[in-house]
Amino acid sequence: MRIRHTSVYVDDQQAALRFYTEVLGFVKKTELPVGKYLWLTVVSPQDRDGPELLLQPASHPAVKPFRQALLDDGIPVTMFSVDNLQAEFSRLRALGVRFTQEPLDVGGATTAVLDDTCGNLIAIAQAH
């Protein structure tokens, strides 16, 4: 068993695609029409055949209260690994990304939390 796809709920798939590719640096893998939405995935440029992140429409009625509760409590919906957290934090901040948590040593890793502009908080982490 292995992870092939995971997802984040997004308000606007095209806006999410721009943020996740142009700002975070992922690469679009799949874009297929599925009804009025898309099966839209991105991957790491370092692992193009690795796990895919589905930019899933936040259209189900349960998504809004779930995401709002996470936002209210400052809880990220997922975490991405980076090689150099301070460099990535500086790069993203220079691009105008808003962080809700600046780099913080949490024992075994340093993390930071950003707003993906699509309704989610995302953690980035560098293991020690």
Give the per-residue pLDDT at 23.
98
- pTM here? 0.94
- For tokens 């429409």, name the residue: 57
- In contact, 26 and 124? CB cutoff 8 Å: no
Give the per-residue pLDDT at 76.
98
Mean pLDDT of the chain: 97
DSSP strand pairing (99-105 vs 109-115):
antiparallel
Per-residue pLDDT band at 32 (split at 50, 70, 90): very high
Q: Yes or no: is domain 5-127 CATH 3.40.190.10?
A: no
Q: Using CA atoms, how far apart are residues 34 and 11, in angstroms rounded to an integer? A: 16
Q: Which of 79, 88, 59, 82 is nearest to 120 (CA)?
A: 79
Give the per-residue pLDDT at 47.
96
pLDDT digits (tens, 9 = 90+) for 79-111: 999 999 999 999 999 999 999 999 999 999 999
